[in-house]
A and B are shown apart, each in its own frame.
Chain A
Amino acid sequence: MLIKRRDFLKTGSLATASLLLPKFLYSLQAPGTLPVNGRNLVIIQFSGGNDGLNTIIPMRNDVYYRERPRLGIKRETALALTDDAGLHPSLVGLKSLWDGGHMAVLHSVGYPNPDRSHFRSMDIWHSASPADEYWQTGWLGRYLDAQCAGRPTAGLEFDDTLSLVMKGVNAKGLALQDAKRLYESTRSPFFAEYSAAKGPVFNDDAPVDYLYKTMAETLSSANYLFEQSRQKPTAAIYPATGLGKDLKTIASLILADTDTSVYYVSLGSFDTHINQEPQQKRLFQELNDALSVFATDLKANGKWNDVLVATFSEFGRRVAQNASGGTDHGTANNMMFFGGSLQQKGLLNPLPDLMDLDQGDLKFQVDFRQVYATLLENWLGAAAEKVLGANFKPMGFV
């Protein structure tokens, strides 16, 4: 693993969170809750490093076919988006979204000095730190800090543990597999009674009070989400896959006007060193089937305009295929966006330049934090600079 220098880390592992914060984060601690703006951001994380070049295929590029004699997806099979760009053949449903003007693609998103370790690069995407700094909070966690104080269900991650991306200084997202399981795991009468006996916690300076507060919030959030999920459960038929199940829960929560702003799901593993073709195909099938139903469902219920779906991966893969029918870790990658309110549709910037590589890897053209700034400012209505700690100009597609 390649570790580079960082600037802000003042002390070692045992310092308190606040001591380890870059200066800009102190300003986040003031309560500034805004009313829920009714918009939902759904992030789909492609874990493992998705091969972007076989997602949006540069189907008139000779370099692409020369470097990928076996893995390259033929122009005849790709789903044509433009004259030059095709979509992976498994993503038929996403092609319909494209045709309807509900999809946008941003190419060559990345950051300077890319790291090829999954763990480290995901950390960078989660924290939105420069590649040479270690931050202990995530960009969505800091959004929760800045905007969602007192709203413990503002950020939900569909998993049994919470990622760094959802951890703020004070506020944190809530991890759950599904609303019912969360409810059941917290239902022991002992926890409810024990928590109630303590009464409300107004000052959480002492660690034990902080724990009581978190416990009480979790219990009430579990109740709230369970009730919300049953209020207007979606009638649409979702595929019985992990992503299908997650998007179904999300749809039901959105239909019930839940106070959640950010939903976070993961799909993987896209780490296709060996025999990439069937593995990526299977994952894309899962993505395609689940996301198509989700979009149709929300459209039918008049909610699709309030939803923005964004996909990303910790890195792309190398341009050249390897000897095992796969691809190795690369750098810049594309991001996809879906929703009824996109301000710009289609390809937002040119396909990656395969003639201008950095040791066989794509050069990034768009800093991922500029994308975050766009989502924060233009969609969630948050002050991006406060959350990101630096000024990145929002783009116009949202």
Chain B
Amino acid sequence: MNKLQHLLWRFGFGPRTKSWQNWTALPPESWWPKLRDESLPAPQHFDVVDGAVKGLLMGAGELGKMERRELDKEQKRQIRKQSREDLQNLNLLWLEEMTHSKAQLREKIALFWHGHFASRNINILYQQQLLTIVREHALGNFADLLRGVSKSAAMISFLNNQQNKKQHPNENFAREVMELFTLGRGNYTENDVKEAARAFTGWSHRLDGEFVFRQRDHDTGSKTVLGKTGNFNGDEMLEILLEKRETARFIARKLYRFLVNEMNVPEDRIVWLGDRFFASGYKIMRLLEDIARSDWFYAPENVGSKIKSPIELWIGIRRSIPMELADPESQLVLQKALGQILFYPPNVAGWPGGRNWIDSSSLMLRLRIPQLIYNNQALDVSGKTDDDQQMGEAAKGQMRRLSAVIDWQPALDLFAKIPDQELIEKIAEFLWAVPTKNLSIAVLEKNTNRSSRSAHIQTTIVQLMATPEYQVC
């Protein structure tokens, strides 16, 4: 059954206790189609933006005016303050979706794109628009996704393309699009970046986040980029990047690291995946399917080779032991303390991942989470302050409690027929994505509560989650 855990952890946020038996009843060849089909419906979009912020950004005036409308200092302050709150709501809403949605594949791959197209932008409206694009195209066509993201206000403003004008080109946007979104380093020259930046001149956005092309600022001259010459504009520039096979391989490599193995990436496999992705016209689902249906995906060296990101770990826990959180905002403190806050990637390159997630304090907190919930203990960490957001106003965040009512019934049902002496092993096989052959049975037995069958199952689950094994998938 190890294979099923591997698939569900990598292409989703781990198995849900309640529906586990629906999965195990299926033959292995039906796992992927089920996973895929459950994510086919279009996603429900989130809308958490406060009415007042919308009012300020959308404006009541006629369209022509809106383009040029400036906000005064007080309005900017108001938007910043409200954005901070609304961004937290968007964060929490997405966590709920990751936890409960049947569309596990979509939300998981959307999280991948959220890191790939990383944008630190405190404007809630722009962030929400970007997330909509990412979730909508997560499993669709990469070309559409790239076009959507590149024209989003969140990305244009984060990468300073509003300052990219014919008279004063700003190369930031062009550089990141080539280096981080499409080709990857080594596949273009400095001159290509300069020329591409000229093609993107004039790409801007309105206050309400709508893309706008400012003809005045656009450099209409001839550009030579990646061996092609013409009066390219931004749209044509993106097409040139998509015409390069390297783009498909770059995306394939990055997805391989995310889904299969962070450290060990065989180049021939990337070429095979990338070229098929390219030939398909950038169909993301085809690429995912190539990975999920391969034998090597399940090879022992790939199982347990990935350290779960804080979001993967936390959502996985919530799926294993469904719970009603008394204070959902405690999840924001948790993200901060563990080093991954949705919508706040460290920089445009996204979260570095792997061993970067781990240091003494983050590991100990990760190990303690199940016990903190089970014992209703205070979350005795607060994380660092963020002066970009807080502007010196607030000191350290207040102490939160990871208080929750856990619904143990699904777990009690799932393990109802397992004899006491096999309980640890069977629960470990369910919770862990790694093989359970070196299980420290004696230590686990000693540290579980055997006063009742229910307590026995509960404490076994809690302890098995409080292990290094549970941190990997």
Contacts and interface: CB of A to CB of B under 8 A. Distances in A.
Contact of B349 (A13, A215, A272): A13
A18 B420 CA distance: 45
Given A13-B115, A123-B346, A161 B367 contact: no
Contact of B387 (A163, A175, A208, A271): A271
B352 A136 contact: yes
Contacts of A17: 352, 354-356
A265 to B, nearest CB: 13
Interface stretch (B30-38, B219-227, B390-398): B390-398
A111 B65 CA distance: 41
Interface string B375-402: 0000011111111101110010000000
Nearest to A193: B443
A3 B348 contact: yes
B440 A2 contact: no
A207 B307 contact: yes
A14 B116 CA distance: 9
A1 interface: yes
Contacts of A160: 337, 361, 380-383
Contact of B347 (A3, A163, A193): A3
A174 interface: yes
A208 B469 contact: yes
Contacts of B463: 190
Nearest to B379: A160
Interface string B438-473: 101011101100000000000000010011110110
Contacts of A162: 359-362
Interface residues of A, number: 68
Nearest to B175: A5
A11 B443 contact: no
A22 to B, nearest CB: 12
Return the 5 tightest CB-CB contacts between A and B, nearest first: A13-B350, A271-B392, A211-B468, A118-B387, A197-B440
Interface of A: 1-5, 9-17, 20, 47-49, 117-120, 123, 134, 136, 152, 159-163, 166-167, 172-176, 181, 185-186, 188-191, 193-194, 197-198, 206-208, 210-212, 214-215, 217-218, 221, 268-274, 279
Given A123-B347, A269-B392, 19 more contacts: A3-B172, A9-B180, A11-B184, A11-B185, A12-B349, A13-B352, A47-B385, A118-B387, A160-B383, A172-B360, A174-B361, A193-B443, A206-B304, A208-B304, A211-B358, A268-B385, A268-B387, A269-B385, A271-B392
23 contacts: A5-B172, A10-B186, A11-B253, A12-B349, A13-B116, A13-B254, A13-B349, A13-B352, A15-B262, A16-B263, A17-B355, A49-B387, A118-B388, A119-B387, A160-B361, A161-B339, A167-B359, A175-B359, A188-B371, A208-B304, A210-B358, A214-B358, A215-B367
